[in-house]
Structure 1
Amino acid sequence: MSDASQTLRGSCLCGAVTVAVQTELPRLRACHCDMCRQHTSGMFISVDTVPGTLTVEGPAQSYASSEWAERGFCGTCGSTLWYGTQADGVRHPAAGLFDGAALGEMTLEFFADECPQGYALSGDHRKLSTEETIAMFEGDA
């Protein structure tokens, strides 16, 4: 972790779960995959953080949504808390937990070709197709 990192603090809708995490630059990432849209009723937006720095206090629960991923939520109000990969234990916190979405800039969209017709993100950032996203997670991109 560099000297330029900062601590972000946030909470779920009801305040029962609080989180803290380190970030060097609060960049946002959006995912349009079927599971993220089903879990959040829209895209899932996370904040890029320093791996291993997320701390969670309160009635957080997780659901193994696939063989390789989990989704965290508040056991009281149901707010989305994180998306995590089970193999390495990395959790990507939901941007909505932090005031102003941590004032982050959108830098990357996963499964951009699966984005519903009803909305689209503006801006000049990287947009990965399903094929490109899978290749990235498999280590080919």
Structure 2
Amino acid sequence: MKARCLCGVTQFEVQLRNHEVAACHCSMCRRQTAGPLMSIDVENINFIDQQHLSVFSSSEWGERGFCNMCGTFIFWRIKDHSFANINVFTLEHPPEDLNFNLEIYVDNQPSFYSFNNQTKKMTEAEVVALFNSNQ
């Protein structure tokens, strides 16, 4: 699937792992996106043009990619590249059967917003334990 940043200079292709969308309520995602990050897991990211791609080391085990021209958040991935997800809104033609079914870092979510969807909810500790068990 083709994807790109807002200004179009950072272009890439991805293979989706599934059609399940997750929302992250952690403070880093909220600060970077001005709200919860809506993401989808991918098998790989093949950059067609990455001249304006910047990667920020956001934790001991994670990093975030963004376009340094327009600021679009593109991906979050484990530093060894064994797991990655992308901003679902970067997809040029998202599948029509996307399913929003997971919220993570729910214990970090501010009280002034909530979603109506029925989703699985995971706390920060549960997410960290999941990624630590996969390493």
TM range (shorter): 0.7 to 0.9
Cα distance change on mapping 1:24 and 1:84 into 2, 3 Å: closer
Distance of 2:10 and 2:65 partners within structure 1: 11
1:62/1:46 Cα in 2 relative to 1: closer, same or farther (>3 Å)?
same
How many corresponding residue pairs? 131
Distance 1:63 1:102 in 2: 29
Give the strand-richer structure, 1 or 2.
2
Q: For residues 2-28 of structure 1, give each alpha carbon's deviation from its aligned partner in whole angstroms, at most 9, with x where no partner exists.
A: xxxxxx211110010112111253211
Between the aligned partners of 1:65 and 1:39, the Cα distance in structure 2 is 11
- The one-letter amino acid of 1:60's match is L
Q: Which runs of at least 4 in structure 1 moved beyond 2 Å after TM superposition?
A: 87-91, 99-103
Q: Which has the higher contact order (CA 8 A, sep 6+)?
A: 2
Instruction: Please state how far the C-alpha of 1:90 moved relative to its aligned partner.
Output: 3.1
Matched, 1:18 2:11: yes
For structure 1, the 5+ residue unaligned runs are 1-7
Evaluate the alpha carbon distance shift between residue 95 and residue 136 of structure 1 in structure 2; reply closer, same or farther with a 3 A threshold. same
Contact 1:110/1:127 (<8 A) preserved: yes
Q: TM-score, normalised by structure 2?
A: 0.85
- Say whether 1:110 aligns with 2:108: no
